[in-house]
Every structure is written in C-alpha cells, then in structure tokens.
Homo-oligomer: A and B are copies of this chain.
C-alpha cells in the first residue's frame, strides 16, 4: 500500500480563529460579530459587550484578505519616494505613516532611486496589491504612470511641489519662488557675483530644477543672468558639493555668493570653503535648501529654506483619507516655506551698499 505523504506543511499549524468560532462561543451569528466589529452602534449594548468579551478571549483578529475581498477596500496606501536616504523624505514618510496609522491605514513603501522606470514598476506592483491611495513625489512623471493611475482609478497626490501636471493634485511648497526670494535677499545684501550648485542630474528631480530656475530668474530680473559656468550640476551627495564649489571657484574666483539647491550640497561647499581657507561668510556667502537638522549646528550656521516635510506628510495622509472616503478634497495645497537667515550669509566684503540686516527672520 502506498503511504500518503505525511509531510505536514509547517505554515498552517495554528488553526486560525474565525468569525464563526467567535459566533459559536457567543451564541450569535457571524453577522452579529461582524456588526460588533464594524458598526458597534447598531448592536444592543449588552450583546455587543458579550460578543466583545469573546472576541478578546479568543484573541480574534479578522482576516484582512477576506475583508478586503468583500468590501473592495484594502485600507492601505502606498508611497513611492526617490530615496529614503534624504532626511527630508524620511521625515515626510514618517509623518505620513503616523497619520495614516491613526486612521487605521497601513503604508506600503517603495523607492524609485530617481528612476522613472522603476517608479512605474513599483506603482504597478502597488496597484496590483489593491492599494486605496498613492503618494508620489514631485511633478515629473511619465504619461504611462498617469494613465496607469487613471485606469486603476486610485486617488493620488504628489508631494513636495506646489503643482503638478495632468490633473494630479499636489501638496508642497513653491520651490522656484523660494530660491527666488533667497536670491533677492542676497542681492539686497549687495552681492553681484553669484554661483549656483544644483542637483539636477537626475531627470526626475523637478524640485531642484525649479529651485535653479528661481535663482536664474531672480538674477536675470536683476540684470545679472548666470553664465553656464556659474552653474555647477551635481547629484545629491555631500562630496559633490565639495567638488562643485572647487570647480565654481576655479572658473570664477571672484564669486561672493553661492546658492545651493540642497543643504547637503551647501554643507559640502562649506566644508570645501573651509579647506580652501575661505572665510564664510566674510569672503563667501553660502546658502542651502531644506533646513536639515545639521544646518543650524554648522559653523557658521547655514542660511537655508525650511521645508515643512512633516506637514506635507500629514497633509498627504489627510488628503487621501478624505478622497478615499469620497469627501471633498482641495485641488492642491501650497504650504509656506520659511527663509531661515543664519550666519553663513552676509554682505560681500567689497559691497558699496550699506548693510541691511533688518531682513533676518530667524533668531
């Protein structure tokens, strides 16, 4: 006689507690148990309590797959960030998750490494998972991605930018306006010879591109348009900030103000300036963008733009929760950034204009 394969699959030893088990123990129908869990207010209080007790006794937790299948909603949201290595994204994701968690949602996370193809793949995977909402970063997305979202008819919101094309709502700051304001501030200080360090290498990094445009526009308006050699492109590493500054000062030794599109780059630039024996801000003013924790602790503290990352994360969560529930939602939310004037910026040494320090908004 042939023996049956007795190799017990080890995955399913524990017979999972089902709603029916609870129902039997409590002498009610599964329907009632379900109601206790989902609409407690329509069940008679004493019955509700009795059922609840048995639910706790048996440590029953409902099977989310079955639940999702029947109800059509997963109570799950996905987010795709370029990378988690940037504190500003990590902070936003953390706030997003916290807020979602409060509302009973769980967060899928994925990263694209600034690669639109990868972003599309991850999105595809998330949609197959049946997510109820999706959070993206930035405004640069292929049309494939947009049509995928549309086809899945999943609520979406993009973050860290003030607006996005294709009818996608956004929550974030106006990056261009922020650097324009920063540039104007430096102009007012009396600077005339500028340099810019921008992490615009990644094709999909529209934030930094917008920031660079803000710089260019402000300087053009002031009659001081940047020459190509006054703009050094970099990726988002600290080391590139160093080499960028060196290159910039090689081409334009008389530069008095360097505007970076990222704190990381600015910090790298400051490190290099120190190494080159240039006093900041006496000989060289340097500004950043993001206001990472370290910015305020630098020597000298870094002038930068503060981005409300946590608020962006929370706002994105609220937006999706409402959109999923069918509540009305704003088309876009523009959050205020904050120019943080610290001591890495000052009037240039050779300035003929009087110093005007009254503008400082920080400290």
A residues neighboring B (CB under 8 Å): 7, 9-14, 59, 61-66, 68-69, 72, 74, 76, 83-85, 87, 90-91, 93-94, 97-98, 101, 104, 106-111, 122, 124-130, 147, 150-153, 237-239, 242, 267-268, 271, 274-275, 293-294, 297-299, 326
Q: A64-B130, A85-B87 are in contact. List 9 more A-B contacts (CB 8 A).
A: A7-B147, A12-B153, A59-B151, A101-B122, A104-B125, A106-B108, A107-B108, A267-B297, A271-B297
Contacting pair A65 B242 (CB below 8 A): no
| Chain B residue, CB-CB nearest to A127 | B61
Q: How far apart are the CA atoms of A107 and B76 in the complex, in Å?
A: 12
Q: Which of B107, B129, B297 contacts A109 (CB 8 A)?
A: B107
Q: Which of B93, B104, B151 contacts A84 (CB 8 A)?
A: B93
- Tell me the bound Cα distance from A304 to B62 in angstroms: 47
List residues of chain B with CB within 8 A of the CB of A298. Answer: 271
Q: How far does the Cβ of A300 sit from chain B's closest Cβ, in whole Å?
A: 11
Known A-B contacts A125-B101, A297-B242; the reply to A110 vs B111 at CB < 8 A is no
Chain B residues closer than 8 Å to A126, beta-carbon distance: 106
What residues on B are CB-neighbors of A129 within 8 Å? 64, 76, 106
State the 9 A-B residue pairs at the shortest beta-carbon distance, nearest first.
A65-B68, A84-B90, A65-B69, A109-B109, A84-B94, A90-B90, A61-B128, A64-B130, A64-B129
Inter-subunit contact B109/A293 (CB<8 Å): no
- Choose one: B109, B151, B237, B267; the contact of A93 (CB below 8 Å): B109
Given contacts A239-B297, A299-B275, contact A64 B326 (CB under 8 A): no
Contact residues in B for A9 (Cβ distance below 8 Å): 150, 326
* A294 and B294 form a contact (CB under 8 A): yes
Chain B nearest CB: distance from A111 CB in Å?
6
CB distance from A297 to the nearest CB of B (A): 5
Contact of A130 among B10, B65, B110 (CB under 8 A): B65
A119 to chain B, nearest CB (A): 12
Q: A326 near B11 (CB under 8 angstroms)?
A: yes
* Cβ–Cβ < 8 Å partners of A97 in chain B: 109-111
A97, B69: Cα distance in complex, Å: 25
| CB nearest neighbor in B for A67 | B65
User: Which one of B65, B85, B91, B106 contacts A65 once the chains associate, using CB atoms below 8 Å?
Assistant: B65
Chain B residues with Cβ below 8 Å from A294 are: 238, 267, 294
Closest to A12 in B: B72
- B238 touching A14 by the CB < 8 A rule? no
Q: Which residue of B lies closest to A86 (CB)?
A: B90
* Distance between Cα atoms of A235 and B114 in the complex (Å): 33
Contacts A/B (CB < 8 Å), 11 sampled: A7-B147, A14-B152, A65-B66, A65-B74, A66-B69, A97-B110, A101-B125, A108-B108, A109-B109, A274-B299, A294-B294
Report how far A13 CA is from B130 CA in the complex, Å: 14
Q: How far is the CA of A124 from the CA of B129 in the complex (A)?
A: 20
Interface centre among A7, A76, A106, A126 (most CB of B within 10 A): A106
